């Protein structure tokens, strides 16, 4: 009698496992169109920390308020620019600073450079207004 119950329980468990395996989608890595939006957290931690440390230094040093506000600021910028756009805008900004005449024109004058620097400036300005405690 024990043997019949054991076999029945094993068959039931096996059937449950087989049914469970057939209900799992083939490709669980595929995302629906709704889920393919840009993630705000696609900025590497290193870039976020670097931005926050520079921001804290510009706003009077490390306090809880400046740390929180600068963290908020990079989050707001991440909502408006992808990491690729952010890095390109920073690069164009750094390379065009202090360069006058033809030497700086290569970095300062292209339409892509102007657009990205403008978008970064607007994103920073908007983030500054919404994040800093007055």
- The separation between CA 69 and the C-alpha centre of its own chain, rounded to angstroms, equals 17
| Residue 115 domain-assigned (yes or no) | yes
Whether 77 contacts 130, CB under 8 Å: no
Q: What is the pTM of this model?
A: 0.63
| Residue 133 domain-assigned (yes or no) | yes
Query: Which tens digits make up the pLDDT trace of 7-28?
Result: 556 555 444 555 544 444 445 4
| Residue 15 domain-assigned (yes or no) | no
| Residue 3 domain-assigned (yes or no) | no
Q: Report how many domains make up the chain.
A: 1
Structural domain for 115, as ranges: 61-134
Query: Which tens digits make up the pLDDT trace of 29-76?
Result: 555 455 555 555 689 999 999 999 999 999 999 999 999 999 999 999
Q: Residue 54: which H helix or E strand, with range?
A: helix 45-58
């Amino acid at each position: 009698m024990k043997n019949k119950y054991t076999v029945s329980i094993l068959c039931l468990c096996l059937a449950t496992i087989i049914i469970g395996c057939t209900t799992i989608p083939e490709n669980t890595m595929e995302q629906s169109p709704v889920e393919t939006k840009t993630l705000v957290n696609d900025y590497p931690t290193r870039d976020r920390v670097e931005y926050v440390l520079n921001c804290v230094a510009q706003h009077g040093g490390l306090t809880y308020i400046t740390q929180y506000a600068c963290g908020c600021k990079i989050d707001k910028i991440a909502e408006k620019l992808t990491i690729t756009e952010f890095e390109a805008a920073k690069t164009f900004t750094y390379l065009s600073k202090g360069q006058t005449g033809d030497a700086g024109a290569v970095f300062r004058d292209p339409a892509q450079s102007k657009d990205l620097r403008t978008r970064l400036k607007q994103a920073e300005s908007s983030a500054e207004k919404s994040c800093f405690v007055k």
